[in-house]
Amino acid sequence: MAYKKHKNTHKGAALLFGIFSLLFFVLLFRFVQLQTTGKADGQVLAVKAEQKYEQKRTIEAKRGTILDRNGEVLAEDTPSYTLVAVLDPKMTTDPKDPKHVVDPDRTAQKLAPLLHMEVSEVKSILTKKAKQVEFGAQGRNISYELKKKIEALKLPGIGFIRDTKRFYPNGTFASYVIGYAQKEEDTGKTAGAMGIEKSLNRYLHEKDGYVFYQSDKEGFRLPDTKEKIVPPDNGDEVYLTIDQKIQTFLEDAMNQVEKQYKPKKIIAIVVNPKTGEVLAMGTRPSFDPNKRNITNYLNDAISYPYEPGSTMKVFTLAAAINEGVYNGNELYRSGSYRVGKNEIRDHNKVGWGVITFNEGVQRSSNVAFAKLVKEKLGEDRFLQYLHRFHFHEKTGIDLPGEGIGNILYRYPIEKLTTAFGQGTSITPIQQIQAATAIANDGKMMKPYIVDRIIDPDTKKVVMQNKPEVVGEPITKETSEKVLDILETVVTSEKGTGRPYQIEGYHVAGKTGTAQIPSPKGGYLTGYENYIFSFLGMAPKEDPKLLMYVAVQQPKLSYTETGAAPVSMIFNSVMKNSLQYLNIRPASEETEKTTSSKKGIELSSYHGWPVNEAVQDLKAKGLQPVVIGNGEKIAAQLPSAGDETIIHERVVLKTDGTATMPDLNGWSLRDVMKAAELLQLNPSIKGSGYVITQSIRPKTVVKANDYLIVELAEPDKWKDRINQQKEKKDEKKKQPVD
């Protein structure tokens, strides 16, 4: 039977043919399009394929190292580890070899002591609902040594992630100069947060590199494929002008003073005055950049403006000499100087009578410098010199956070108090910059602390600092005259700088005792409430080092002055640094002269019989004074271990009843020794040597009794002694009734 075609068969076949033909041409068009453009949905297919089968491995870069002038490392990146704990049980495939924490209690007890954490704190971390956990700050930056200790415990599930940390090998060392860097929470990158680490972060910052290679779908590298490498960009090396040796001398001296005198602040700067290079800079309180135990985020050496006190007189003196109006042999009356309704007084309130201006400099007379500005130099010209010494602007030192002082020059009294360092405020680094003109033939050098920056890969110099003269406020002849006068401040018997003599070297400098403004108005009062300072340079003939030291509110005994802690820093650092730099003493003759003044170290005489102690002290060339009628020594001043000079008084207190010694002719220092041993409250009038005392010799005294002592200069003291002797002789000649 013949099959009869349905009338719609041809129509259906035609429709199917048309559909398949359309699909074929669509696919063909898409194929041609992909072949010609290489793109699909706007994305390059080759790139997508490469991303799927290309692996990337990071090559870690290193943050730039900070070094001293001689290449000693001050800050660098070192390997560290982050402790992690795997808590996901699925990570363990073999129960005999667990890969997760199976016993949180035991693990916490073992880890807690090593991490300096509480056991409960560690356990709470190990019992979190998470696949993997870290241990916070205590678990980061773990050293290799601690890593080994933890690994030795063989705790299941405990592992490490390798990392790097910023390491400061010297701890508390120029901390406010170097600063610190830390990892940012959001990026994980290390960034500078303070000091050089912050200001030069753009140079120190590193950029990681990468290695790209082709892999199969399992991630394994395909054979015969080429690597594509993007090298890491390591941070630049920063070389500072800091000298590690000199900085160490400074740190050790400041530590000693901080421990002994417990001051609120210490500021010290050492520079090369010929170049402006900062060789050492330190402050207290300080911090360890590894621990970041910071209490003050400002570098006081450059950020703290305060009234400098008498170190400011150096620049007033220089201005007067430079203008040709200073006559050191000219006489004036010290003590007080009236300006309108105001009165300027010398620091001892009464002055020293009629003296020369040179002696006024040596004694640090406020009146001398007020008269220089008012009557010799002129207030307008003095202001010009304040500007010539750049006290009105920042130095521009290459450290972040530099502050600036304030020249008070509105009222007549302010113009004169500025001459001796009151009212007007400046920063320590401003003083240092100005003083380079005194030590460098009149040329004022800009201070700087970054010597050069080097690319560690190419060894190319990225940046190089050079000495920069920022002004010539005075002539070479003026600087030499100022140095000559400042030397007498240290060498003269009348000079306030005598404690700053250094064996074998000629030192020129000026002391300062700056008042501290009170929050309630006026100034703080009290024996210790000052900023004691010294601005000095050596050797005087051609200064190689310039140093400023300030100590704020140290704890002093009655026998000590503010020069004690300041000179402890200055003398030690200056002498050690000069010797380290192979700067020889002035001459053999100077060495012999000064060596004859070498100190005698005192023994302890506690418990000694009085006669034996007296004989021993006399044999050493010292002058013993016995207080009391006991048989054995109970206390002494100076103390055991202190150094004394030949013929110095050593006050010995016995175990008997305390009696008042005859203080006639004693110095203030010796009076304070007796007052401290007898626990008296001293009140001092004048300066020089004792001429009267309120408690008669051999009188029995009790603790907290008041002792009023009047002192006079040597010439007046001798006159008073002669007058008293004449009166005694007259009484002897009178007939007896």
Over 60: is that where the pLDDT of 728 sits? no
User: What is the reported pLDDT for 558?
Assistant: 81
User: What is the per-residue burial (b if ≥16 Cβ within 10 Å, else e) of 595-623?
Assistant: eeeeebebeebeebebeebbeebeeeebe
Mean per-residue pLDDT over the chain, rounded: 86
User: What is the reported pLDDT for 47?
Assistant: 45
pLDDT per position as a tens digit, 511-544: 999 999 888 888 888 888 999 999 999 999 999 9
Average pLDDT (700-717) is 75
Over 90: is that where the pLDDT of 363 sits? yes
Structure tokens at 660: 């008042």
User: What is the reported pLDDT for 591?
Assistant: 43
User: What is the reported pLDDT for 731?
Assistant: 47
- From 224-228, 235-239, 518-522, the region with the lowest mean pLDDT: 224-228
Tell me the one-letter amino acid at 20.
Answer: F
pLDDT per position as a tens digit, 450-460: 999 999 989 99
User: What is the reported pLDDT for 630?
Assistant: 87
User: What is the reported pLDDT for 45?
Assistant: 45
pLDDT confidence of 620, banded at 50, 70, 90? confident
Is omega for the bond preceding 714 within 30 degrees of 0, making it cis? no
Average pLDDT (357-379) is 96
- From 53-62, 359-368, 469-478, 597-606, the region with the lowest mean pLDDT: 53-62
User: What is the reported pLDDT for 9?
Assistant: 67
Evaluate whether 597 touches 563 at the Cβ level (below 8 Å).
no
Over 80: is that where the pLDDT of 232 sits? no
Cβ contacts of 328 within 8 Å, gap of 6 or more: 356, 357, 358, 361, 485
Over 90: is that where the pLDDT of 374 sits? yes
Over 50: is that where the pLDDT of 709 sits? yes
- Which range of 87-101, 351-365, 626-640 scores highest in mean pLDDT? It is 351-365
CA angle centred on 439, ends 319 and 378, rounded to 5°: 5
Over 80: is that where the pLDDT of 30 sits? no
Over 80: is that where the pLDDT of 604 sits? yes
Evaluate whether 219 touches 43 at the Cβ level (below 8 Å).
no
User: What is the reported pLDDT for 689?
Assistant: 78
User: What is the reported pLDDT for 279?
Assistant: 98
In this structure, what are the phi and psi dihedrals at residue 325, rounded to the nearest 5 degrees?
-110, 5
Q: Residue 352, SS3?
A: coil
Over 60: is that where the pLDDT of 270 sits? yes
pLDDT per position as a tens digit, 33-68: 656 655 555 555 444 444 454 555 666 788 999 999
User: What is the reported pLDDT for 49?
Assistant: 47
User: What is the reported pLDDT for 248?
Assistant: 95
Q: Is 124 an annotated catalytic residue?
A: no
Evaluate whether 236 touches 204 at the Cβ level (below 8 Å).
yes
User: What is the reported pLDDT for 579?
Assistant: 92
Q: Which residues pair with 204 in a beta bridge?
A: none
User: What is the reported pLDDT for 218?
Assistant: 53
Average pLDDT (111-115) is 92
d(CA 194, CA 191): 9
Between residues 530 and 214, the one the model is more confident about: 530
pLDDT per position as a tens digit, 572-588: 999 999 999 998 876 54
User: What is the reported pLDDT for 168?
Assistant: 93
Over 80: is that where the pLDDT of 391 sits? yes
Over 60: is that where the pLDDT of 718 sits? no
Average pLDDT (603-629) is 86
Evaluate whether 555 touches 526 at the Cβ level (below 8 Å).
no
pLDDT confidence of 659, banded at 50, 70, 90? confident
User: What is the reported pLDDT for 22?
Assistant: 76
Between residues 502 and 161, the one the model is more confident about: 502
d(CA 489, CA 483): 10
Give the DSSP letter string of 416-442: HHGGGTSS-BB-HHHHHHHHHHHHTTT
Tell me the one-letter amino acid at 291.
Answer: K
User: What is the reported pLDDT for 687?
Assistant: 65
In this structure, what are the phi and psi dihedrals at residue 711, rounded to the nearest 5 degrees?
-115, 155
Between residues 637 and 188, the one the model is more confident about: 637
pLDDT confidence of 471, banded at 50, 70, 90? very high
Over 80: is that where the pLDDT of 716 sits? no
Average pLDDT (410-427) is 94
Domains of the chain as residue ranges with CATH: 58-240 (3.90.1310.10), 247-595 (3.40.710.10), 600-733 (3.30.10.20)
Over 50: is that where the pLDDT of 472 sits? yes
User: What is the reported pLDDT for 50?
Assistant: 47
User: What is the reported pLDDT for 90?
Assistant: 85
CA distances (Å), origin 2, targets 5, 6, 9, 97: 10, 13, 16, 80
- From 86-90, 539-543, 727-731, the region with the lowest mean pLDDT: 727-731
Nearest to 241 by CA among 70, 48, 47: 70
User: What is the reported pLDDT for 246?
Assistant: 96
Q: Which member of 310, 479, 567, 687 is catalytic?
A: 310
Stated pTM of the model: 0.71
